[in-house]
Structure 1
Amino acid sequence: MSSSHYVLPHIDPIAISLGPLDIRWYGLMYLVGFAYAFWMANRVCDNSNGVWTREQASDLLFAGFMGVILGGRIGYVFFYQLPSFLDNPLYLFRIWEGGMSFHGGVIGVVTAIIIYAKRHQRSILSVGDFIVPLLPVGLGAGRIGNFINSELWGRVTDSPFGVIFPNAGPLARHPSQLYEFALEGVLLLIILLLFIRKPKPAGSVAGLFLLGYGIFRFIIEFAREPDAQLGLLTLGLSMGQILSLPMILIGSGLMVYAYKTNPVEVAQSQPKKNKGKK
């Protein structure tokens, strides 16, 4: 163990105790992400000239939050713990043991977007473009939570950036949680905010998010420790990389589609005309 490496101290996973209520760090990170999304959504609504209202945004955020929770849990079980589920289907509901998948969360959010768009007679692409700039802060905050909890650490490294995690043995490892915070959280947020400064074709913002996250996650996975129960899979890729490839392809295709079929439509488009319904 090199003295040049930072040794992460054991941090109590419970950040605040209020009587019988224990608030964990990871829960606080979720709260930070949701608070930012709510604030940013209201700001967009106030500047949308009536295209979006705060009430509509609130309904969409609630649907998206449910999509993250349900999709994240179901995705984790099916992508990473399928044998445990097949052995005991009730494992799906043992959420107190932890386990969430970002890629599963994406599927959940996409499902929520489709349902919301159909129910409110809006363009699916426009709804997607509205919601994706709200996500990076939550993603980055979640990775800080992973770092504090000393989980999802990286592979062994001699790099001076290596960190010795209290529950990962005596060897220094890549702080891959912080890499993800920097790329999937901070950098992706900056890219999206710069991109939406001017009107863009509907679907291009969502496409850029999928493309950007997919690329960043694929790269970072080279420094992240593969899941112990899976190891490296086809072509030496991790499950995270395999799941990121469709995001890269879909994101690229969505951007091409947006610019080729609708080069002038603003992402924050007006709702579709409601035919005879009140």
Structure 2
Amino acid sequence: MLPYPQIDPVAFALGPLKIHWYGLMYLIGIGGAWWLAARRLSAFDARWSREKLSDLVFWVAMGVILGGRLGYVLFYDLSAYLHDPLKVLRVWEGGMSFHGGLLGVMFATWLFGRRNGKGFFELTDFIAPLVPIGLGAGRIGNFINAELWGKATDLPWAMVFPTDPQQLARHPSQLYQFALEGVALFAILWIYSRKPRPTMAVSGLFALCYGIFRFIVEFVRVPDAQLGYLAFGWLTMGQVLCLPMVLGGLILMLWAYRRAASSAA
């Protein structure tokens, strides 16, 4: 068993204001994505300025935050928020959903594209390789918060999390997700997108790989207490939401390459 590193969730305090590592992870993810996007900006559109890119990053960041919060409310704990609507504003209590954030980003990207003469999938193909940076940073934030841990196990890398009332040795599922959704997904998308690909293909690969990676890790992650298992006695909400991602990713990739083949013919 590995010892859990006792990291204070509060990175530093400025008087009464406490800066949490989880919040800093969002800044790191957004900042890292902006930096890498700037490196590929000329290949994406040589006419775009850094200011235009900053506008896109701002819209996407708002989509992540607002969509992630509303997605958690709708998908994971709607009854609690209906009972106490002001709970939506208490973001420091936690509660963000990747799938909600994804929908928020898609909506923000669509709006931004309409205002700037860019196609939806043209933008999502540009954005997709950058997303794993934020995903990986977010999972490190979950690990520091000692939240979203996995099921009990006797594997040598199991950890006892201070927030676990049962104090059992558990899968560090946050680190699994960091490795798959952050490192592996970034490597796959970054390498794949270095060469020109048919429109929609990069977006499809992102949806496909993320859906598979998340679906796998959910088998060893403890489901949300208020939901438990939803289907067949073993599917979690995360897995249910990933199924359409896998299917949609496959469809997008097949469609992308068929369109490219038809155009070439």
TM over 0.5: same fold? Answer: yes
After superposition, the CA RMSD in angstroms is 1.5
Structure 2: gaps of 5 or more residues: none
Residue equivalent to 1:246:
244
TM-score, normalised via structure 1 length: 0.90
Is the partner of 2:170 in helix, strand or coil?
coil
Equivalent runs, 1:22-61 vs 2, <5 Å: 22-48=18-44, 50-61=46-57
- In the TM superposition, residue 48 of structure 1 has moved relative to its aligned partner by 4.1
- C-alpha separation in 2, matches of 1:190 and 1:245: 23
Larger CA deviation: 81-90 vs 97-106: 81-90
Partner deviation per Cα, 1:214-268 (whole Å, 9 max, x = no partner): 0000000001011111111112200000011111111111111111113599xxx
Residue equivalent to 1:202:
199
Question: What is the identity, as a one-letter code, of the residue corresponding to 2:101?
Answer: G
More helix by share: 2
CA 225–55 in structure 1, closer or farther in 2 if over 3 Å, else same:
same
Equivalent runs, 1:91-102 vs 2, <5 Å: 91-102=87-98
- C-alpha separation in 1, matches of 2:60 and 2:111: 10
Structure 1: gaps of 5 or more residues: 266-278
Asked if the contact 1:45/1:51 (under 8 Å) is kept, the reply is no
Partner deviation per Cα, 1:39-58 (whole Å, 9 max, x = no partner): 01111114446154322211
Question: What is the identity, as a one-letter code, of the residue corresponding to 2:201?
Answer: S
Equivalent runs, 1:139-218 vs 2, <5 Å: 139-168=135-164, 169-218=166-215
- Determine whether 1:231 maps to 2:231: no
- C-alpha separation in 2, matches of 1:220 and 1:11: 24
Question: What is the identity, as a one-letter code, of the residue corresponding to 2:236?
Answer: S
Partner deviation per Cα, 1:89-117 (whole Å, 9 max, x = no partner): 22222212111000100000000111111
What percentage of residue pairs aligned between the two structures are identical? 56
Question: What is the identity, as a one-letter code, of the residue corresponding to 2:71?
Answer: G
Larger CA deviation: 198-207 vs 254-263: 254-263
Asked if the contact 1:113/1:124 (under 8 Å) is kept, the reply is yes
